[in-house]
Structures are given as structure tokens and as C-alpha cells.
């Protein structure tokens, strides 16, 4: 440890990358009620940051969680050159902390960056920076089925100037937020007939900030009709089901589980692909193919539509109670042998080290 202008710095040597840490003078953790967290409201004491300049990323630094200062002309504010990730850390009953397939998030943020003409980040910087941050924030990863630490890496274009071209300067930042299990209440969805989330040739497969901004207004309209989310359909014909709000979607017809193939407009969710592999491993009939809205309506009419659910990191699996299409509303019956429940349990048990991990998905957080 060395003292620099009254601020305590030290280097975390145990990770391959020589990460410098500026410790927060005092932790906020004692002021936090871990049973009343909401989602993404409270952030931990530190954040990781790396800056891109002159064609290279700086070695990540860990600093106290704080506001960032940018010129008003920074590209991110004008052209939305921003991408992000969402992942979680879990504490098991033995005290170990785990991440779930973090490499997938790393690879995806770089795919998102490529699509938005942003520079790729370094894998060692990502893994070491994240591990160092989580080690420092370890008290924020609470045990118990209800608790996890939500991790939000993001990249923004920081370069000054409003010329409409890609920036040459960026910041890669990771912030962390303790969360309780996500329960959205009963979810009913509106199947989109006019609006779309993403189009062929667009950037729907990227976790880009702008994709979310474009969802807010149609989702608000759906709210006014009594729905919590929009089920996005393909932009060209609105005949095919693509995603549920900010989650991938699964449809169960009879005992077959169906989800759409990833594309320009269906994001390659880590939860989605994990559920596909788990379903295969447990002998559940799982098919990846385009799903027509009409097919879902027909299955509803003939009584074979058993379940609809969303899948994503925040809520893991989110059962859909009902849906609206054109002027009609449809209600689904509760399933005694629900796939949503089954796979939610299986996945969270694996993530929390309560079950074996035949896939090698669980990774020590630090």
C-alpha cells in the first residue's frame, strides 16, 4: 500500500493484470437493507474503469463508485454509441462466490462493440478487472436463494465533438448492484403488431443502449392496455415471435419446448442457450426454430399451448400468465409440471453451487 496525496492506493498483484485500487474511505454497506433492495437501485463501494485512447485500453483501475465527468459533446450523448452487459455473482453456503459463464458476456460485449464500431476489450483485463472488483466487494455478495450481485459492465464513447462518426476514445466501466430475486408479479404481454424492437440488418443482436430506448414507448402503450411487456415480432411481417420485452422467449406446445433461432433481431441470451442445453440433457423435447404467432393462437384454441416464458439474467425465468393479440386477450392455465419452474430451479441450483455442473459453466468469482 502506498499513500498518494492522502488517498490510499494499492496494487492487486494476484491477478495477471497489475490493477491499481483506490479504496473508498468508508463502506456504505452498513446502511443497506439487503431485504429491500429493489432492482439496480443501490451500488457497491467501488467500480472498475479502463479508458481507450490512442488505440489502446488502459490497465483497469478500481476506484470508489462515483459520478463520471464528460464533455457535453461526448459522442455517447448524441449518437448512442453505448453497449452493456448484465451478469450476476452468487454466494454459496460454504462461502464461495460464483459467476455463471462470464466468458459468454465478455464475448458478447465485444460482438456488441464491433457492431457499434467500438474497439474490442481485452479478455485478461475483463476477467482480472472483474475478479479484482468482486474480491474487493465480496461482502456485497450475500448467500441465500434470494440474493445475488448484479454486475453491469458497459462501454461508452467519451470523445468530445459532435461529428457523426465513431469516437476514438471510450470508457469501459463495471458497476455492481446487490439485488433480491426478481419478481415482476403476474406478467401479461402484448404481441406487437406495429412496433418492432429490431430489424434484419439492424443491431438487435447487440446489447446496445439504443435498442432499449426504442422499446420504452411501445411498452408504455402496452402498459396502458394492462400488459407488463411487449412480445416483439419480426419487423418485416409481424408474423413471427422474437423476444419478450428484454428477454428471450420460450413456447411450450404439448410437451415440446420451442424457442426462436438467434438472428440480427433475436439476441443470443446466455440464459436462453443454457436452458436449451439443460433441456437437451434432461431429455425434454426442445426445438429451435421460428415460431409463428398464428401457431401460438392455434395451440391456444386447441388446448395444447401449455406455457410461455421469458428467459434472461435478471429474472432467470419469467412465466407469462396471459397475452393480448389484436383485440383479444388470452389467459394461460397454471401448469402442475411447469417447465418454467423446472428450469428455473435447475439453473439457479447450478448457478448457486447447489447442484453438479456437468457443463462447466460455474466459475469462481475471485
The contact set with ligand PLP (CB under 6 A) reads: 86, 207, 243, 246-248, 267, 269-272, 312-313
**Nearest-angstrom CA–CA distance, 166 and 80:** 10
Q: How far is the CB of 316 from ligand PLP (least distance, A)?
A: 9
Return the number of the residue (75 or 207) whose C-beta is nearest ligand PLP: 207
Contact of 74 with 82, CB cutoff 8 Å? no
Kindly state the helix (H) or strand (E) to which residue 258 belongs, with its residue range. strand 256-259
Distance (Å) of CA 264 to CA 6, 135, 235, 337: 50, 36, 11, 33
Q: By beta-carbon distance, which residue lies closest to ligand PLP?
A: 269
Q: How far is the CB of 197 from ligand PLP (least distance, A)?
A: 7
Q: How far is the CB of 336 from ligand PLP (least distance, A)?
A: 26
Return the number of the residue (137 or 243) whose C-beta is nearest ligand PLP: 243
Return the number of the residue (219 or 271) whose C-beta is nearest ligand PLP: 271
Query: Which phi and psi angles does 203 have, rounded to 5°?
Result: -125, 30
Return the number of the residue (157 or 270) whose C-beta is nearest ligand PLP: 270
Q: How far is the CB of 293 from ligand PLP (least distance, A)?
A: 18
Residue 360 DSSP one-character state: -
Q: Can you give the length of the chain in residues?
A: 366
Q: What is the DSSP string of 274-336?
A: HHHHHHHHTT-EEEES-EEHHHHHHHHHTT-EEEEEEEETTTEEEEEEEEEETTEEEEPPPPT
User: How many Cβ atoms from other residues are within 10 Å of residue 358's Cβ?
Assistant: 10
Return the number of the residue (17 or 215) whose C-beta is nearest ligand PLP: 215
Q: How far is the CB of 234 from ligand PLP (least distance, A)?
A: 14
Return the number of the residue (147 or 313) whose C-beta is nearest ligand PLP: 313
Return the number of the residue (85 or 307) whose C-beta is nearest ligand PLP: 85
Q: How far is the CB of 271 from ligand PLP (least distance, A)?
A: 3
Q: How far is the CB of 279 from ligand PLP (least distance, A)?
A: 15
Buried b (16+ CB within 10 A) or exposed e, 162-172: eeeeebebbbb
**Nearest-angstrom CA–CA distance, 60 and 83:** 18
Q: How far is the CB of 114 from ligand PLP (least distance, A)?
A: 16
Report the sign of the C-alpha dihedral through residues 322, 325, 329, 335, in that order: negative
Return the number of the residue (229 or 313) whose C-beta is nearest ligand PLP: 313
**Nearest-angstrom CA–CA distance, 302 and 227:** 24
Amino acid at each position: 500500500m502506498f499513500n498518494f496525496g492522502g488517498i490510499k492506493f494499492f496494487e492487486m498483484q494476484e491477478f495477471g493484470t497489475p490493477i491499481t485500487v483506490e479504496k473508498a474511505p468508508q463502506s456504505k454497506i452498513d446502511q443497506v437493507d439487503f431485504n429491500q433492495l429493489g432492482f439496480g437501485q443501490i451500488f457497491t463501494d467501488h467500480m472498475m474503469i479502463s479508458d481507450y485512447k490512442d488505440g489502446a485500453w488502459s490497465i483497469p483501475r478500481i476506484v470508489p463508485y462515483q459520478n463520471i465527468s464528460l464533455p457535453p459533446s461526448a459522442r455517447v450523448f448524441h449518437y448512442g454509441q453505448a453497449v452493456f452487459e448484465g451478469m450476476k455473482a452468487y454466494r454459496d453456503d460454504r462461502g464461495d462466490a460464483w459467476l455463471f459463464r462470464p466468458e459468454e458476456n465478455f464475448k458478447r460485449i465485444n460482438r456488441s462493440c464491433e457492431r457499434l464500431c467500438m474497439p474490442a476489450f481485452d479478455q485478461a483485463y475483463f476477467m482480472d478487472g472483474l475478479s479484482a472488483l468482486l474480491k474487493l466487494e465480496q461482502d456485497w455478495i450475500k448467500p441465500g436463494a434470494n440474493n445475488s450481485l448484479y454486475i453491469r459492465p458497459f462501454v461508452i464513447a467519451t470523445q468530445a465533438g459532435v461529428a457523426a462518426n465513431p469516437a476514438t476514445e471510450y470508457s469501459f466501466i463495471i458497476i455492481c448492484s446487490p439485488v433480491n430475486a426478481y419478481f415482476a408479479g403476474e406478467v401479461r404481454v402484448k404481441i406487437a403488431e406495429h412496433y418492432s424492437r429490431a430489424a434484419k440488418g439492424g443491431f438487435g443482436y447487440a446489447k446496445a443502449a439504443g435498442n432499449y430506448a426504442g422499446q420504452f414507448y411501445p411498452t408504455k402503450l402496452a402498459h396502458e392496455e394492462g400488459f407488463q411487456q411487449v412480445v416483439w415480432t419480426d419487423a418485416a411481417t409481424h408474423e413471427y415471435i422474437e423476444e419478450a420485452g428484454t428477454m428471450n422467449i420460450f413456447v411450450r406446445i404439448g410437451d415440446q419446448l420451442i424457442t426462436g433461432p438467434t438472428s440480427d433481431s433475436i439476441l443470443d441470451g446466455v440464459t436462453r442457450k443454457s436452458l436449451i442445453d439443460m433441456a437437451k440433457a434432461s431429455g425434454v423435447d426442445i426445438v429451435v426454430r421460428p415460431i409463428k404467432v398464428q401457431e401460438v393462437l392455434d395451440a391456444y384454441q386447441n388446448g395444447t399451448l401449455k406455457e410461455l416464458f421469458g428467459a434472461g439474467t435478471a429474472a432467470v425465468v419469467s412465466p407469462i400468465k396471459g397475452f393480448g393479440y389484436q383485440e383479444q386477450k388470452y389467459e394461460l392455465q397454471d401448469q402442475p409440471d411447469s417447465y418454467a419452474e423446472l428450469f428455473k430451479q435447475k439453473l439457479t441450483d447450478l448457478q448457486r453451487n447447489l447442484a453438479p455442473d456437468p457443463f462447466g459453466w460455474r466459475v469462481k468469482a475471485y
